[in-house]
Copies of this chain bind each other. A is one copy, B any other.
Amino acid sequence: MKKNEAKGAEEHTYHIDRKSYEPAYSQLANLLRRQIADGVFSPGDRLPSEAELRERYEVSPMTVRRAINTLVDQNVVSTMQGLGTFVRRLDLGTAAFHLQNVQNLLSDTASATVNLLDARIVSADESIAERLGLAVGNNTIYLKRLLMVDDEPAFFHREYLVYDPARPIVEAEMEATSLEGLFDIGSSNILKRGELTVEAAIMSEEEAHILQVALPAAAFRLEHVFFDFDERPTSWGWFVCRSDRLKLTTNVGIEPEE
């Protein structure tokens, strides 16, 4: 059985190197994860107790605990007080899709540029007023941007900003014609938090035209509302992404190395 071969062959390679630059807690976490990946411990199995691990690898209690906590954070094991630490089964529910991946993807292609297509004052209609907590007819700043990757349109962005002389102006927002500015939204330091939703949508005729795709076309729609430190909505907008230019990917379960 392949599993047992691996178990026997590599049993003596699980150790902590105190001369390494990698911290002991990290080495221990990786070591345990590798043992699980190798089948030494299977889903449902109990790991050695913290006292055993402390003795076997000659580290202090806090170091063992930190290693275990790392594995808990990675959904590799779960702990039950009074019972022990157990290897988790594969579970789709632990999956998470990180926007950072998208950002890295775009940053890697050095050819990503942002064009400001439109910027003007518009009067809030009902939906804008509702999202931004304004009265209908109040002024807002409307921005429309197009992000190009490799000279091809990838996604575009619409945004409505509160326009109120009594509030600090979000000038940095209007100058956000760089990729960094689009993601590092709060460069003005007045925004506290945001609410995000992603949905699948059919592109409108205008969207398809700007992004140069044929209808009907599917798109990701990432909507955002940002709030300032007084909890007032300050920005409402959404990204529309060509589905052929964007895939969200992630892994779940036991990865060989982190």
Contact in complex: A251, B195 (CB < 8 Å): yes
Main secondary structure of the interface of A (DSSP, over half): mixed
Contact in complex: A218, B194 (CB < 8 Å): no
| Cβ 8 A contact of A201, one of B37, B93, B243, B251 | B243
Complex alpha-carbon distance, A216 and B99, angstroms: 28
CB-CB under 8 A for A96 and B93, given A192-B37, A201-B200, A248-B197: no
Verify if A89 is at the interface (C-beta below 8 Å from B). Answer: yes
Contact in complex: A202, B189 (CB < 8 Å): no
Query: Whole-angstrom distance from the CB of A204 to the nearest CB of chain B?
Result: 12
| Cβ 8 A contact of A253, one of B91, B98, B194, B202 | B194
Query: Whole-angstrom distance from the CB of A143 to the nearest CB of chain B?
Result: 15
Number of residues on chain A facing chain B (CB within 8 A): 63
Please tell me how many copies of the chain the complex holds: 2
Complex alpha-carbon distance, A247 and B98, angstroms: 16
Verify if A183 is at the interface (C-beta below 8 Å from B). Answer: yes
Complex alpha-carbon distance, A250 and B196, angstroms: 5
Verify if A255 is at the interface (C-beta below 8 Å from B). Answer: yes
Complex alpha-carbon distance, A189 and B88, angstroms: 9
Complex alpha-carbon distance, A1 and B126, angstroms: 29
Contact in complex: B193, A253 (CB < 8 Å): yes
CB-CB under 8 A for A90 and B247, given A3-B229, A96-B96, A253-B194: no
Binds B, one of A38-46, A113-121, A130-138: A38-46
Inter-chain contacts of A195 with B (CB < 8 A):
249, 251
Verify if A191 is at the interface (C-beta below 8 Å from B). Answer: yes
Inter-chain contacts of A2 with B (CB < 8 A):
230
Inter-chain contacts of A142 with B (CB < 8 A):
none
Inter-chain contacts of A192 with B (CB < 8 A):
37, 90, 253-254
Inter-chain contacts of A42 with B (CB < 8 A):
189, 229
Contact digits for A92-120, partner B, Cβ 8 Å, 1 yes 0 no: 11111111100100000000000000000
Contact in complex: A255, B95 (CB < 8 Å): no
Contact in complex: B89, A186 (CB < 8 Å): yes
**CB under 8 Å from chain B, chain A span 221-258:** 224, 226-227, 229-230, 241, 243, 246-255
Contact in complex: B91, A184 (CB < 8 Å): yes
